[in-house]
A and B are shown apart, each in its own frame.
Chain A
Amino acid sequence: QKEVEQNSGPLSVPEGAIASLNCTYSDRGSQSFFWYRQYSGKSPELIMSIYSNGDKEDGRFTAQLNKASQYVSLLIRDSQPSDSATYLCAVISSGSARQLTFGSGTQLTVLP
């Protein structure tokens, strides 16, 4: 079974700090990786996509992918209380089904 693992948290960081969220996946052939943010009672919102090894930056967000280690992370710089949410890692598996598999999510709290 293809799995995506995340530390469920909760992760608490002070306002202005860097929040680091981690995700590992089991399917070595996976090619596409995504981070979603989900506020309580709302549906997930796509915040980052990454497809190749290395870093990808978008504003205060940086996604990091290491396919050799089967590891993808999300860094949030200058964390704000409004960043408090659950962050979901998602991976498109290899194979014809191209199924998107979600991790269970990491709950982040940014303390003012």
Chain B
Amino acid sequence: GAVVSQHPSRVICKSGTSVKIECRSLDFQATTMFWYRQFPKKSLMLMATSNEGSKATYEQGVEKDKFLINHASLTLSTLTVTSAHPEDSSFYICSARDRTNNSPLHFGNGTRLTVT
């Protein structure tokens, strides 16, 4: 089955630093990847849609200059949280679909970010 690898699984950083999270589709090509954020006991919130070779599409209220997304190839998207603050602490999950329009999303294992 389709596998999405996300790294790191857990990161602790100091306030003001930047953190990069990688998302890879291991056995399929993903023209589109999605980044979600989830706070404890809350539902998934779509942050942005990452499009290979073009700019990401951000959801309303998500700062594109703070959450930098790069989708340089059909198998890799990265999310960089810049100048992290404690309120950015959350569970970040990437997902990807293969090129078939009706295919489901496959999720990475998520990254637990803690900003101290």
Contact = CB atoms under 8 A, between A and B. Distances in A.
Contacts of B110: 42-43
Given A102-B44, A105-B43, A43 B104 contact: no
Q: How large is the interface on B (under 10, 10 to 19, 20 to 34, 35 or more residues)?
A: 10 to 19
Interface stretch (A15-23, A45-53, A65-73, A76-84): A45-53
B54 interface: no
Given A102-B44, A104-B43, A90 B107 contact: no
A59 interface: no
A62 interface: no
Contact of A90 (B91, B104, B112): B104
Nearest to A103: B43
A51 B102 contact: yes
A44 B112 CA distance: 14
B105 A90 contact: yes
A105 B109 CA distance: 18
Nearest to B111: A43
Interface in B65-106: 91, 93, 97, 101-102, 104-106
Nearest to A6: B43
The 7 closest A-B pairs by CB, nearest first: A43-B110, A104-B43, A43-B107, A32-B102, A43-B93, A34-B104, A98-B101
Interface of B: 6, 34, 43-44, 91, 93, 97, 101-102, 104-110, 112
5 contacts: A34-B104, A45-B107, A88-B44, A90-B104, A104-B43
